[in-house]
Each structure stands twice: as C-alpha cells, then as structure tokens.
Amino acid sequence: MNEEAPGTAMLHLHGEFPPTPTEAWEAAITKDLKGAHFDKRLVWRPVEGLAIRPYYRREDLSPLGVQVTAAPGEFPFVRGAAGGWQILEHWRPDGDAVRADLWHDAGATAVQEVGFAIAAGVDRLAGVPDEGVSPEKAARRLSFAFAIGSTYFLEIAKLRAARMLWAQACSAFAVPADAALMRIDACTARANKSVYDPHTNLLRVTTEALSAVLGGCGRLFVEPFGFDRHLAINVHHILRDEAHLDAVADAGGGAYYLEALTDAVAREAWSVFQQIELEGGYDAATRAGTIERRIAEARAATARAVSSRRRTLVGVNNYPNLTDREPAREPAALAGAQSSWRMAAPFEAIRRRTDVYVARTGRRPMVALLRRGDPKMAGARANFCLNLFGCAGFDIADGPEIDRNADLIVLCSADTEYTAMAADVVPHAGAPVIVAGNPVAQRDELRELGVQGFVHLGSDAVETLAEWQNRLGID
C-alpha cells in the first residue's frame, strides 16, 4: 500500500463545496432578515444614484463585456497599464491639467468628479482644432488630477471608471487607442482630514494611497497632514517595496464587487457628463454656475451627514482620542484651490472653543456619565455619550455616583428606569442633568423633574455640543 507523504494529498474542494445558485443565497438572506426590507438593510448608497449590493456573483459581470475581458494596457483601459507609479514629493499637477482634485476637496461626489472631468476633457478636445492642434496631440498631452478619499473601494472604482469613460470620449474624436489612455495624477484628499488626531490622518492617507495605486494612478502624492513628511514617503515604500504593488497591474481586476462598482460609477458619471453636454459643455455649465451649484449641494449633504454622525470621521465626530489635546498645523493651501473646506471644520471649531476656555480659566469642563440600572443599556449609552462629548474636548468621568466636579451630568440607563433615576439624582446634582436616549413616553415627566435635555442618535452633534458650550458658559 502506497501512502502519500504528509502535505502532498490532493484537495478536492470543488466537490465538497458544490455551486450554490443565487436563488438559494437570496432565500437564506430573506430568512435571516426576518421581514426586514433587503434594500433598506443591506444595500449601500454611498453616492446619489449608486445602489451597491452586499454581494455579487459571476452572472452580474456577464453584461460588462470588454470591461472585464480586456487585458491591462488594452482599450478601454479600465484595467490601467503595468509599470507602477511615480512618487511625488510635492503636489504640482501639470499647469493645464483637469483639476478634479479641487472638486473633491470642495465636496464633490466621486460620480461628479468623474463626470465633470470627462466633460472638461471633452471641451479641451473639441476646442483644439481652432488652435491648430489635433485631438490626438491634445489627448496625449492632457492629464487629470484626482484627489483620493477614504471610501476605499469607491475610490478604486472612480479611477477605473474615469479611464474607461475617457477612452470612450476620445474614440468620438477619432483619437488612436494608444493616445486614449488617461494620464492620472493622484493625491490624498484634504476634505476628510483634521488638525486633531493626526495619527488617524496617517491611517487615512495609507488607505487612500492604496486606493490610488490599485485604481491605477500614474503619479501619486501623499500629503503629510499633521504628521512628519518622512512618514508620507514611507507609505509609498511600504506599498512598493513590501507589498510589491508595482509588480501587478490591476490587482482587483475581475473581482465581482469591484467590477460591478466600477460599472455603476461609470454609468452614473456618464449621465452627469451628458447633462453637462446638454447645457453646452463644461465651460458653458461653469459660466452658468451649474458645476458650483451641484458641488455645493453635495457638500451640504456631506456636512449634514458628518454633523449628525451618520458619516463617521474617526477622532473628529466619533471615537475621539481623549489624550490628544494639541492641534496640528494645517498645511498651506493647494495651488488653484478656491477654498479650504474640510468636513471636520465645525468640530474643530468646537474643540478650539473649549481649548480657549481652558487657557482662560485653567480648568477643562467635565461631563459625568452616571451609569445605573440595566448594565447593557447603561454601558451602550455611556459609550455613546463619551464619544459625543469627547469630541468637544471635554473631560469625561464615568461611574454610578454623582461627581461633584462635574459641569454636566448625563443619566445613562434604560428608558423605563429614567424617571426614578432623575427623581433621585436631580435634587442633589449641583450641575445640569440630561438623559442619554429619547424616552418619548417619559419626556414631559422627566422635564418636570428637572432634566434639561436629551442626547440620542437623532441629535445633531454640532448643534448639541455648541448648545451645551453656550449653556455652560464656554464662550
């Protein structure tokens, strides 16, 4: 009897895990949802117009055609080309580059960035014959600058979609295929950075750089926002010398999720481009204020999501570093930037207001989280309030007894226990008392007992923190 040497036996996993039809997956999901709506619970909508499912299968890629069959370096260049990326130590896009990075940092969505970039590029190609330049020559010398945010897969798909659409646009001008490859310079975004908690900025630029590389940028600048410059350069070296990402062209190519996301971004961006064309092109839409208005609408929506904490900025509007008190210096303005909008700005203003108060009075305001009753509910609501008030730069005390040094006391318990808790605490508090949660049935009674407010998931964090700064005299 011949026995196989250890570790050499053949595995037959295909037989042990037979194919499962999509219907079976959906039946299992429906069962687990227990009546909840699939689209509301599991479909992600990161940008208006995009509806991203939690999973994709091989049949979802069958309509995509050349997007998934073309090799790297082949038209329509969705998969980019081999050769790695050039490290930029300073952000200096070409003087006539299409500056999609400025739209990103002004609040534009990924779909808008791509759609506007294609529209701007088409205007360039359409105008060059009047200058005695061929569309081919113009396409070869034109470059595009993109800022890369921290929505990891979406940013990869953004660059892949941009290349594909630019190749299609160039073909309308009879530009040869070898001249239709979009030249992409990428930089890490500013819109999502904060002068507080700079180490989180370092984590952000790492994922952003990875997105840029996997998306197929040609040149990349990692900005040291609040941390040392050599760390920004090291991000490149880690991706190149340790992860060897320069040795692989389009490492994500063929991934069902990424290919479907690329297609979704491309379709929505093409629709944006067509709308701009109906207005007479990019220059006409710019003069009419269309571009600025659409970016302003997107920026306002993002600001609302950050302020309400529906969109998390780690260290800014959630999960603050309570030991990090000193803000870092904001980098100088980027060339060509019209504004320096950042999502974190309202929270930074609140933190600065607290810091000024501390410098003037010599003491930092304290919020006491008073836990009693149901341990599970008390713990969850105390953690919620720690993250909320910690974002204002307040000191936090946490325990079951009243802290006499507290400037604000937060009752953390279950809704059914708040009435008795308030009756016991408010008369002896010595500071304003509020409730963590939204106990609708008890709100009137709690107010009669002296409770001065409520904080919960529906609260706007910026408004709530500013209100309590006002009421505590933090001027």
Residues in contact with 334: Cβ distance below 8 Å, sequence separation at least 6, in sequence order: 91, 101, 102, 105, 190
pLDDT score of 130 more than 80? no
Whether residue 153 has pLDDT greater than 90? yes
> How confident is the model over 224-234, as a mean pLDDT?
95
Q: What pLDDT shows up at residue 15?
A: 73
Residue 411 pLDDT > 90, yes or no?
Answer: yes
Q: Write the DSSP symbol of residue 213.
A: H
Residues 74 and 166 in one domain: yes
Q: Which residue has the tokens 């720690």?
A: 386
User: Is there a single domain that holds both residue 79 and residue 186?
Assistant: yes
Is residue 269 assigned to a domain?
yes
What integer best gives the mean pLDDT of the chain?
Answer: 93
In this structure, are 366 and 224 located in the same domain?
A: no
Total Cβ atoms within 10 A of residue 202: 19
Q: Could you tell me if 189 and 264 lie in one domain?
A: yes
Averaged pLDDT for residues 310-326: 90
Query: Which residue among 272, 307, 342 closes a domain?
Result: 307
List Cβ<8 Å contacts ≥24 apart for 232-235. 232/205, 233/87, 233/89, 235/205, 235/206, 235/209
pLDDT band at 203; cut points 50, 70, 90:
very high
- What was the pLDDT predicted at 2? 58
Q: Could you tell me if 65 and 143 lie in one domain?
A: yes
Domain boundary among 249, 276, 307: 307
Q: Is it the case that residue 338 has pLDDT exceeding 80?
A: no
pLDDT, residue 18, reads 79
Interacting residues of 35 by C-beta distance below 8 A, sequence separation 6+: none
pLDDT at 385 over 90: yes
- Mean predicted confidence (pLDDT) in 76-83: 90
Query: 464: pLDDT confidence band, cut at 50, 70 and 90?
Result: very high
Range in 25-34, 71-80, 334-343 with the lowest mean pLDDT? 334-343
- Is a pLDDT exceeding 70 seen at residue 229? yes
What's the burial of 94, exposed, middle or buried (CB within 10 Å: 0-12/13-18/19+)? middle
pLDDT at residue 150 is higher than 90: yes
The residue ranking higher by pLDDT, 238 or 328, is 238
Read off the pLDDT of each residue in 358-362 and give the average, rounded to a whole number: 95
The mean pLDDT value for 398-408 works out to 92
Asked if residue 319 belongs to a domain, the reply is no
**Global pTM?**
0.92
Is residue 88 scored above 70 in pLDDT? yes
Q: Are residues 301 and 363 in the same domain?
A: no
CA 270/CA 290 separation, integer angstroms: 16
Higher pLDDT, 299 or 82: 299
CATH (domain of 409): 3.40.50.280
Range scoring the smallest mean pLDDT among 87-96, 195-204, 220-229, 332-341: 332-341
Torsion of CA 307, 309, 314, 316, to 10 degrees: 30
Number of domains in the chain: 2
Give the domain range for residue 439: 355-471
Q: What stretch of H or E contains 366?
A: strand 366-371
Share of the chain above pLDDT 90, in %: 82
Query: What pLDDT score was predicted for residue 208?
Result: 98
pLDDT band at 82 (very low <50, low <70, confident <90, very high): confident
Instruction: Classify residue 437 by its DSSP letter.
Output: S
The pLDDT confidence band at residue 336, using thresholds 50, 70 and 90, is low
- pLDDT greater than 70 at residue 339: no
Any domain includes 90: yes
Residue 296 lies in a domain: yes
Lowest mean pLDDT segment, chosen from 1-15, 264-278, 373-387: 1-15
Do 295 and 180 share a structural domain? Answer: yes
For residues 437-450, average pLDDT: 96
pLDDT for residue 337? 63
Tell me the mean pLDDT in the region 285-311: 96
- CA dist 151 and 148 (Å) reads 9
* Residue at 425 is within a domain: yes
pLDDT digits (tens, 9 = 90+) for 48-75: 789 999 989 999 999 999 999 999 999 9
Specify if 168 maps to a domain: yes
Residue 95: count of CB within 10 angstroms of its CB: 8
* pLDDT for residue 469: 97
Q: What pLDDT, on the 0 to 100 scale, is given for residue 52?
A: 93
**22 domain residue, yes or no:** no
Is residue 43 included in any domain, yes or no?
Answer: no
**pLDDT grade, residue 233 (50/70/90)?**
very high
Instruction: Find the mean pLDDT for residues 324-341.
Output: 74
Residues 270, 142 within the same domain:
yes
pLDDT score at 3? 64
Confidence of residue 4 (pLDDT cuts 50, 70, 90): low
Higher pLDDT, 132 or 412: 412
CA–CA dist 374, 414 (Å, integer): 6
- Mean pLDDT within 311-338: 82
What number of helices (H) and strands (E) belong to the chain? 19, 10
Is 187's pLDDT higher than 90? yes
- Residue 325's pLDDT is 76
Q: How far apart are CA 462 and CA 464, in angstroms?
A: 6
Per-residue pLDDT tens digits for 22-38: 999 889 999 999 989 98
Please check whether residues 258 and 364 belong to one and the same domain.
Answer: no
pLDDT given at position 329: 80
